[in-house]
């Protein structure tokens, strides 16, 4: 979403510790680090949003093979502060759903 943001990538791709950090005017500042992964099964990542709204979350992408097709399941979870964060949480799907769909369609 932000072609001018600064990206920094460290670590071995696909392995625990592989990290992508971003800093830009649209997406803010944060990072995503692989926590664990099993080839062709799942990848679990720690997400840290530093700015503009600090938050820590976990994201997991699972692959479920069925014949000649693969189902992709994308989980995200994190704690939302009470009460404002939880009210904000009610709108997350409408705010981020399009971005998730766009990401899944690029697989």
* pLDDT tens, position by position, 51-91: 988 889 999 999 999 899 999 998 888 887 778 777 777 77
pLDDT at 23: 96
Q: Which two tokens stand for residue 4?
A: 């001018």
* pLDDT tens, position by position, 61-70: 999 998 999 9
* pLDDT tens, position by position, 1-24: 788 999 999 999 989 999 999 999
pTM exceeds 0.85 for this model: no
């Amino acid at each position: 979403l932000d072609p001018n943001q600064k990206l920094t990538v460290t670590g071995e791709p696909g392995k625990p510790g592989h990290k992508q950090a971003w800093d830009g005017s649209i997406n803010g500042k944060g990072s995503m680090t692989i926590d664990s992964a099993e080839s062709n099964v799942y990848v679990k990542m720690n997400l840290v949003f530093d700015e503009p709204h600090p938050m820590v979350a976990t994201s997991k992408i699972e692959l479920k093979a069925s014949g000649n097709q693969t189902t992709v399941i994308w989980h995200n979870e994190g704690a939302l502060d009470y009460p404002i964060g939880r009210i904000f949480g009610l709108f997350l799907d409408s705010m981020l759903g399009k971005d998730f769909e766009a990401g899944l369609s690029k697989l």
